[in-house]
Structures are given as structure tokens and as C-alpha cells.
Structure 1
Amino acid sequence: MDSAPDSSGKRVDDSEFLEMTQQDPVQAKILRRSLEHLASGLGGDALKEMAQEVLSGRMGLREAADVSAYAEQAVERAAPLAERWAALSDGEREALAAEGERQIEDERRRLDEERRTESENRPGTKSRHDGSGWSLY
């Protein structure tokens, strides 16, 4: 999926998303993934353009929310979801909320594992327990 449609290949760093998610790297990753889905055209042309602008770094997410064409299409796309949510029973809502929490925890575990693997495989770093540098004398 092309999340940086401009020819420079520029891609916004995660600081934009960390700010929006109260410094939660898992929520930031989920937000980026959602924008990448929108950038593929999933939410219509205006939201595709908005996501591409944000992912390329040409526009901040807060700034994009102020663009009326983007906001109008977001509201238009969200209305059916809000109606479906309103039609759910309390039990159905709780089950969906629990599933969302499970998915967030799964993503948190994946991110922790990725970080652990990256630090173990980073050149020039060694494990605390690799045995080198230790001497009885």
C-alpha cells in the first residue's frame, strides 16, 4: 500500500501520531494503519487525499481535520457506523469493546516483541548475559 504518494517518498514520522495518542506507541501505530487504509481509497476520494497529505507530512492531522471537504466526508462515512452502534444492545457494545481491547493488547505484545528483536539484533550491542567482559580476576 502506498502511504507516501509524492515522488519524494517522504513519510511523516510517528511523532505526529504519538502527539495525537497521548504518547501511546500502540495507538499511534493503529492510527497510522488507519490512515494507510484511508490512503488506499477505502473511505472515498476526499479521505484518501487527506490521508495521503498527512502520511506524506505535507499536512498535520489536526490541520486536516479543519478542512471542510475532509470533515464532511468523515462525518458522512461515520454516520452509518454511529447508527449501527446505536442499534446495538449494551451486551453487544461491551463485547465489541472487549474485542477492541484484546486487539490493542495483541498489538502491544507484537510491538514489544519487535522492539526486543530489534535490540537483540542491533549490531554492536550485546546481551547483558553474553559472558564477554567478565573475569574472576
Structure 2
Amino acid sequence: MPHPHDKPVDDSEFLEMTGQDPAQARILRQSLEHLASGLGGGALKEMAQEVLSGRMGLREAADVSAYADQAVEQSAPVAEKWAAMSDAEREELAAEGERRIADEQRQADEERRTQQEERPAPGRSRHDGSGWSLY
């Protein structure tokens, strides 16, 4: 149940963590949303919900030992799988990640263009009355 003072975190939190890269910020948010659904276990679910609700910053959450311990525990099988991969498999996985980042970048660029097109021209209000007449 949401807390009455919760304010969903805006993308500035994720942009800061990703070096102002909007595509990686989107992927970070999506990853937290997946964790918030319970995919990484109870502690990571709680952490993701805290961050997405705005009750806790991502850096602050990383300092909570229960969250960090479960993150390490969850990443161990991934690290083992990575170590067992061939160079070709690693390269394909890296290429897949690069394609995903490029797709997210295109989507972010398109959303930014759409938002800019929807804004009124600088210095002119949508309601300035120019071009309007009763006759």
C-alpha cells in the first residue's frame, strides 16, 4: 500500500546514476520495476519499491546491507554463467545489450522530439490571442 507522502521518483535520480545517459536511465528504471515485482527476492523487491516510490535514493539503498547481500547472492549465478560462456557467446550478449541501449536511445530521442513539438514557441503563449478574430 502506498505511503501518503510517496512521490514517484523522477528520472533525474537515474540520470545521475548513469552519467546523464537517458537510454541507460530508462533501462535502470525498468530493472528496478522488474525487481519491484519480486523477481530478485524479497529484499530486492522492497529496495526497488523504496527507490521507485521516492522514499529512498538508489545510492542510499545500495548502502543497506540486507539489500546489498541479496544483490550479491542473486548475481553469483550470473557471474558463474558469464565465466562459463565462450568468447563468442559473451560478444553476442554484449551486442544484444548494445542493441537494447540503442533502441532505448531512439525511443528517448523520439519522446523528446514529440515533447518539443508539443511545446508552444518561446516568447509566445498558446493563449496570446494572435491570429484570433470574431470576424
TM-score normalised by the chain length of structure 1? 0.82
Deviation at 1:121, TM superposition (A): 2.7
Q: Tell me, what secondary structure is at the counterpart of 2:39?
A: coil
Post-superposition CA distance 1:14-37 (Å, at most 9, x none): 111111101111111110111011
Residue correspondence of structure 1 range 14-25 to structure 2 within 5 A: 14-25=11-22
Q: Which consecutive residues of structure 1, in runs of 5 or more, have no partner in the other structure?
A: 127-137
Separation of aligned partners in 2, 1:91 and 1:5 = 45
How many matched pairs? 123
CA distance in 2, matches of 1:60, 1:31: 13
Shift of 1:62: 1.1
Tell me the CA shift for residue 87 of structure 1: 0.3
- Taking the aligned partners of 1:32 and 1:43, their CA distance within structure 2 comes to 15
CA contact (8 A) 1:119 1:125 kept: no
Which residue, 4, 13, 16 being the options, matches 2:10? Answer: 13
Q: Which amino acid aligns with 1:22?
A: G
Identity score, percent? 75
Q: Deviations over 1:34-80 (max 9, x none)?
A: 10111111111100100011111111111111111101111111111
* Residue deviations 1:96-131 (CA, integer Å, cap 9, x gap): 101110111111111111111222233x349xxxxx
- Structure 2: gaps of 5 or more residues: 123-135
TM-score (normalizing by structure 2) = 0.83
Q: In the alignment, which of 28, 33, 36 is matched to residue 39 of structure 1?
A: 36
The structure showing larger relative contact order (alpha-carbon pairs under 8 Å, at least 6 residues apart) is 2
